[in-house]
Amino acid sequence: MEVAIILGAIIQVVTLIVFFVMARNVSKIKNTLIQINRIHNIACQEDENTGMNTEGLSEGLLVVELKTEKQMRLGKRLDNGKYECSMGGNYVGTFSDYELMEFDEWVKNVYKK
Burial class (CB in 10 A: 0-12, 13-18, 19+), 75: middle
| AA identity, residue 97 | D
In this structure, CATH architecture of domain 2-109: Roll (2.30)
CA atoms in the 13 A half-sphere facing the CB of 24: 5
Distance CA 87, CA 13 (A): 42
Write out pLDDT tens, residues 88-98. Answer: 889 999 998 88
pLDDT band for 41, please (50, 70, 90 cuts): low
Q: Is the pLDDT of residue 54 over 60?
A: no
| Domain ranges (residues) in the chain | 2-109
Across the strands, what pairs with 85?
A: 74, 93
Query: What pTM does this model have?
Result: 0.50
pLDDT band for 48, please (50, 70, 90 cuts): very low
Which candidate, 96, 83, 95, places its Cα nearest to that of 42? 96
